Chains A and B, each alone.
Chain A
Amino acid sequence: MAREELGSDQVRRTLRRLAHEIIEQAEALEDLALVGIRTRGVTLAERLADNIEQLGDIRPPVGALDVTLYRDDLDRGGGARVRLQKTALPFSCAGKDIILVDDVLYTGRTVRAALAALVNFGRPRRVRLAVAVDRGGHELPVRADYVGRNLDVRPDERVRVFLEESDGQDAIIVQDSPNFKKFRYSPGEIETRAEAPEESS
């Protein structure tokens, strides 16, 4: 089974709020650059950039980071299964105010790998982290500076962030373990929350 934690309107409002927070805390909007972690993080970074452009009249550049080669779990079978993609940073990180963007913060290992990758592209002035969901269970001392939603889920559950560009629909879903792999976004399989979502936010 799968249950919906956030619907499409809520996802849109959440991203808008994150954009507001990023603008509010930026020292200079011109130095801001967003770096998404592949795959969903890149889409989220593009969305945040759109929102920042609407609110602040300046669109920060967006880069894409593939952290596969920086992971510490190659021996655990990551090698052949993960499809390696390209890193594409159309700017130098030197002196930039970088916002790293990912969909779900869980163990923190992806973020650690991303930080290791990032320093190869110049020395950023500052790096902060924005995530759509922080699900807890961190295994490294990593925290997010901008969080869309904190979710308290069991270790055997999986949090999925679906986005219109890749999945046809914006939603944040929690799945039970048996469906991890085959699950695609389909409204029929998703149980919408009965209680008003405002209460939990």
Chain B
Amino acid sequence: MKPEPFQRKDLLSIRDLSPGEILFLLDLTDSFREVNEREIKKVPSLRGKTVVNLFFEPSTRTRTSFEIAGKRLSADVINITASASATKKGETLRDTARNVEAMATDVVVVRHPASGAPTYLAAELGCGVVNAGDGMHEHPTQALLDLYTIREHKKEFAGLNVSIVGDIARSRVARSNIVALRKLGANVMICGPSTMLPAEAESLGAEVTTNVDEAIEWSDVLMALRIQLERGAGTAFPSAREYAATYGITRKRLQGAKRDLLIMHPGPINRGVEMSPDVADGPFSVILEQVEYGVACRMGILYLLSGHRGEESPPDVGGAEEPSAGEKAGERRAKDAVAH
């Protein structure tokens, strides 16, 4: 497997990507990491570009990560959250997004509770769209930063045993990670109570177990997922205490683990539920590294999606879609006027 250039307008899902494109994005993350290690952590490459974080769900880590990433590249970053937006006044997603684009935005980063919302926007908008988590579908940048973190420690993906423990069925992080890891040749095992395991586990190419000790013993890397009560996880088990007793990753459980096991968590952690504090802060944990590399990963994505416009075909393409093509051309002229 060799890296191949990523030349898409949008980053919507891991499923779309070839293994080569994933490796390309991991290599790019590596290059941007160097910028974050400098004394002056800023480069001018996206000067004059505008990145809008359009978040219809609460988020601290991902939004901050994209915001820092954009700012380190000198882009202007604007945050719009659903609670403070015109959505409250009844505006549709499409209208909100088209208004954002009309303000000469180069990249829109979207988080939305509906699966597929970023894909819909990508088709509607001429600017780049990044999926920052959509419903129970995908969270591609999280998978990329997780893969980068794994590669930093394990070097190769082929033959690596990675288990994911928790609410797999409702988790977009799990879905993106399973797909990405399988594409790069890692073995994936998912683990959780049967009420939390997806029906399509086999088609994703993952092994399934309900025994967390088995998963721990088998693993080179173990990802624990947050129990997402806001997505209805509370209906899948009797109580958080029972889940913690049966599936929580504790130091005692890790006695059967490999010596070089890597413990990961996409955050935010429910300490004492899916993971005990001594494991989260313990020697196997790379949780804060994941956060650190997330910024570099997102810098790479914003950099690529802001630069794609020069290669775009001219806007006057179809006769059938005359009005919308004309509109787009108008928008693009407006953007060009801003750029020059």
On A, residues with C-beta under 8 Å from B are: 66, 68-71, 74-81, 83-88, 116-117, 120-121
Q: Which residues of B contact A85 (CB under 8 A)?
A: 31
- Tell me, in angstroms, the Cα distance from A120 to B74 when the chains sit together: 14
Min C-beta distance of B317 to chain A, whole Å: 19
Assess A77 versus B31: contact at CB under 8 Å? Given A116-B44, A120-B38.
no
User: Is the beta-carbon distance between B38 and A75 smaller than 8 angstroms?
Assistant: no
Q: Which residues of B contact A77 (CB under 8 A)?
A: 307, 310-311
Residue with the highest number of chain A CB atoms closer than 10 Å, among B32, B42, B44: B44
- Taking the complex as formed, is B303 at the interface, i.e. its CB lies under 8 A from any CB of chain A? yes
- Taking the complex as formed, is B28 at the interface, i.e. its CB lies under 8 A from any CB of chain A? yes
Of chain A, the residue at the smallest CB distance from B5 is: A80
Interchain Cβ contacts under 8 Å between A and B, 20 examples: A66-B31, A69-B45, A69-B73, A70-B44, A70-B45, A74-B46, A74-B306, A74-B310, A77-B307, A77-B311, A79-B303, A79-B304, A79-B306, A80-B6, A83-B27, A88-B34, A116-B44, A120-B42, A120-B43, A121-B39
Instruction: Find residues 1-57 in chain B having any chain A CB closer than 8 Å to their own CB.
Output: 5-7, 27-28, 30-32, 34-35, 38-40, 42-46
User: Is the beta-carbon distance between B307 and A75 smaller than 8 angstroms?
Assistant: yes
Q: Which residues of A contact B39 (CB under 8 A)?
A: 120-121
For the complex with contacts A74-B310, A80-B311, A87-B34, 14 further pairs of A-B residues with Cβ separation under 8 Å are A66-B31, A69-B303, A74-B45, A74-B307, A76-B310, A79-B304, A79-B306, A80-B7, A80-B307, A81-B5, A83-B27, A84-B31, A120-B40, A121-B39
- Tell me, in angstroms, the Cα distance from A87 to B43 when the chains sit together: 12
Min C-beta distance of B296 to chain A, whole Å: 11
Of chain B, the residue at the smallest CB distance from A122 is: B39
Q: Which residues of B contact A84 (CB under 8 A)?
A: 28, 31-32, 303
- Tell me, in angstroms, the Cα distance from A70 to B74 when the chains sit together: 11
Min C-beta distance of A159 to chain B, whole Å: 25
Interface size, chain B (Cβ < 8 Å): 28
User: Is the beta-carbon distance between A71 and B45 smaller than 8 angstroms?
Assistant: yes
Of chain A, the residue at the smallest CB distance from B106 is: A75
- Taking the complex as formed, is B339 at the interface, i.e. its CB lies under 8 A from any CB of chain A? yes
Of chain A, the residue at the smallest CB distance from B7 is: A80
